[in-house]
Structure formats: C-alpha cells, structure tokens
Amino acid sequence: MKPREIRPGIYSVGAVDWDRRLFDSLIPLPDGTSYNSYLIKGSEKTALIDTVDPTMESVLVDHLDELGIRKIDYVIANHAEQDHSGSIPCMLAKYPGAMVICTPRCKGMLIDLLLVPEDKFITVEDKETISLGNRTLEFIHAPWVHWPETMLTYLREEKILFPCDFFGSHLATTDMYVTDEGQVYEAAKRYYAEIMMPFRTTIQKNLEKVKGYTIEIIAPSHGPMYDKPEFIMNAYYEWAFCVPKNIVVLPYISMHGSTRRMVTYFVEALAQRGVTVKQFDLTVTDIGKLAMALVDAATVVLGTPTVLAGPHPNVVYAAFLANALRPNLKFATIIGSYGWGGKTVEQLTALLPNLKVEILEPVLIKGYPRETDFKALDNLAEVIARKHKDMGYD
Ligand code: FEO
C-alpha cells in the first residue's frame, strides 16, 4: 500500500502485515496486523511518529522515498517495543541528523534493546511540547499502556492523538479509518484483553487523562485510525471500568471423556439457571478468544482431568494466562476427574494469586461421573447463579 495523506503534510507511512499469525511468539493474529508510522511535516521541522517492525522496515523506507523525504528532524518513540521502535536504527542511518524523542525511561530501554547511541536522544517530560514551526507536538506520559516507558503524542493544531498501542487493534486492512465497527470492536477488544487488561487501573487513569483533550482523530500504531474517536473511547471505558457480567468462562481439557461429560452437564446446569457460559476446549481454542471472554466474566471454572498427579498441562497454561491477564473475575473453581488421586486443586489454585477471587468448592470426582457427581455439579451451578445474582451481575 502507498503512503496515505491524512491532512496536508501528515501521512500514514507504516506497513500492513497481512500474513503474520503470531505476536510475541504467543498471541494469535487471526487478522494479521499493521505497524503504523506517521510523518508530520511542519513549516520548519519534520517528525516521524513511531517506526515499524524491523521485518518491514523496507516498506517504511520506500514510503518515505516515495514522498521524497530527505530530512527527518525527530523520530518520536512513543513506545520501546520493537514492533514500533525496531526500525529506529534504520531511520537514524538514513537520516543522520534525526534525534529520537522519548520519555527518560524509554531512552534507557532503547539503548538496551536497540543499542541506539546515547547522544541521539532528546527526552521529554509529561506535557512538554516541541514545535515543528506551524505545528506543535505535545507529549503525554502514559506509563503502563502497556510498558512502563510509554507516552502518547498529541498534534495540537490538527487535534490528532497518536497513542501507539493504546486503542490499537491487530487488524490488517486497506481501510485508513474504521469502516466496519463490528470487526474493529472485536479486534480492539481482543487487543485490549491480551495487552492492556493486566493494567486495567492505569488504563482507567490514562483514559481520564486523555478525556481532557479535544480529539478529532485517534491514529494508533496498530489497525485502522478512528475518525470517530468516541467509538473506541467508549469501548475502552466499557472494558476497563467493566462490572462483571453474569458469565462463566470454562476452559477445559478431557483425556478420556469423564471431564467432558462433566463439562457438558455443568454447562447445561448453569444455562438452565440463567448463567451465560463460554466453553473452551483447550486442545483447539484460540487463546485470544479466551482472553476476550475473561474481560467481562464474573467466574472462571477450570475443567481438568488428573495427569501425572496434577492438572493437565494445557489447563495449567490457561490458569497461568488468566492469572497474568488479571481480569476482573470474582469467583473461581475447578471441576474434573481423577483415577487414583493427585494434587489438582492445590496446584491450580496456587497459580491464581493475582486474581482477587473467592474459590468456590471444587467438584473433583473419581472416574466417570455418577448420579451423586451430577448432583454436586447442580449444587455448584446453583451456588454460582446465586452469587452472581447477589452481586447484581446480569
Ligand atoms: Fe505494539 Fe507494545 O507494541
């Protein structure tokens, strides 16, 4: 794709990565992604906001050449993660007069991660500005969206916010702005769940901070831009300030069918009591879907057989992930089957220290479920439905 003009002298010059399917060697990217970079020409200076993943630096170089850019004065590094900063060395080689502008903390990280020479930096404090002549960039420190060094850049005259990862979505598209709100809502929620949810309280603070600015366009560094900023701002308010809903998330594994039978019965028992259940077979599930389901769920129930005297490793992985993502869950429990014993409950609950949850009485049974086991599952479903109701979740 060619560089796109957003406003006179302001261009989107990044790269769309249609084929990438995994981020951080962890996160599935069903819809690819983009590494957005923005060029702003002022009457005196030119700035580049964020670069691109190093795998696509030739795209950025081609775009800048196509626009005939011979001089860049400032490379703004909103965030040190390499999908945005990784082409800074290339930019500094191409434009030797350019200086990197970032937070003091980001400077240290760029020196460590990319070996950028120390004398190539200008560090900026919160709310500090830099003039490009007829245009002014204001830097808004926003730590922990989602690394400690992050900042946002605000172009005052055009009222454009460049928030890097904040408000972004892993979505490869030819659309410059959001056209399909349903598709972008899903991709942005997935992104929020995987990247931002662990920092929910700082996200809340940063949302309040951003609210003080008049914004006409949000230009994130992943996914399409927002020419109706309230669309993504409202979505972020909904997710970050979310009161849990009457939802149970149930990731599970079954080896020989006992746990599956329990899961099937239990899901029906919950559904009959008016509880929404999101069930995930961990042998096939997309962990991004699981992360999204955790955003507004009240309860997680882990379903596992006993293997090698403990929970199945895939369930351990799901528990570890849920703990790391710190969703706003209120209750957790375990259902499953064993052959002769084990420490499943102890091992799984020990994996959830970050979750401020009440652990409900698990249902661990020997062998294939019998009548008494189904009764125990009915009781657990009853407890969950009642607790959700008592808390006012609907
Ligand atoms: Fe898109 Fe945190 O990097």
pLDDT tens column, 212-255: 999 999 999 999 999 999 999 999 999 999 999 999 999 999 99
Determine what percent of the chain is predicted with pLDDT higher than 70. Answer: 100
Question: Given a cut of 90, is residue 25 above it in pLDDT?
Answer: no
Cα–Cα distance, 165 to 154 (Å, whole number): 14
| Residue 296 near residue 245, CB atoms below 8 Å | yes
CA of 160 to the centre of ligand 1 (A): 20
Work out the pLDDT band at 394, boundaries 50, 70, 90: confident
Q: Check if 79 has its Cβ closer than 6 Å to any atom of ligand 1.
A: yes
Neighbouring C-beta atoms of residue 159, cutoff 10 Å: 13
**What secondary structure letter does DSSP report for 342?**
-
* Paired strand residues for 363: 335
Cα–Cα distance, 325 to 26 (Å, whole number): 13
Atom of ligand 1 nearest to the CA of 195: 2
Question: Given a cut of 90, is residue 1 above it in pLDDT?
Answer: no
Residue from 47, 118, 56, 57 nearest 77 by CA: 47
Over residues 103-110, the mean pLDDT reads: 98
- Residue bearing the bigger pLDDT, 342 or 373: 373
Q: Check if 41 has its Cβ closer than 6 Å to any atom of ligand 1.
A: no
Question: Computed from CA positions of residues 56, 62, 65, 66, in that sequence, does the dihedral angle turn out positive or negative?
Answer: negative
Q: Check if 50 has its Cβ closer than 6 Å to any atom of ligand 1.
A: no
Cα–Cα distance, 220 to 216 (Å, whole number): 13
Over residues 122-134, the mean pLDDT reads: 98
The whole-number pLDDT of residue 297 equals 98
Over residues 153-158, the mean pLDDT reads: 98
The whole-number pLDDT of residue 26 equals 87
Question: Given a cut of 90, is residue 276 above it in pLDDT?
Answer: yes
pLDDT tens-digit profile of 160-191?
A: 999 999 999 999 999 999 999 999 999 999 99
The whole-number pLDDT of residue 189 equals 97
CA of 268 to the centre of ligand 1 (A): 40
pLDDT tens-digit profile of 367-391?
A: 999 999 999 999 999 999 999 999 9
Q: Check if 222 has its Cβ closer than 6 Å to any atom of ligand 1.
A: yes
Atom of ligand 1 nearest to the CA of 165: 1
Question: Given a cut of 90, is residue 333 above it in pLDDT?
Answer: yes
Q: Check if 170 has its Cβ closer than 6 Å to any atom of ligand 1.
A: no
Q: Check if 312 has its Cβ closer than 6 Å to any atom of ligand 1.
A: no
| Residue 130 near residue 99, CB atoms below 8 Å | no
Which residue, by CA, sits nearest to atom 2 of ligand 1?
Answer: 81
Which residue, by CA, sits nearest to atom 3 of ligand 1?
Answer: 81
Atom of ligand 1 nearest to the CA of 150: 2
Cα–Cα distance, 146 to 240 (Å, whole number): 13
CA of 35 to the centre of ligand 1 (A): 9
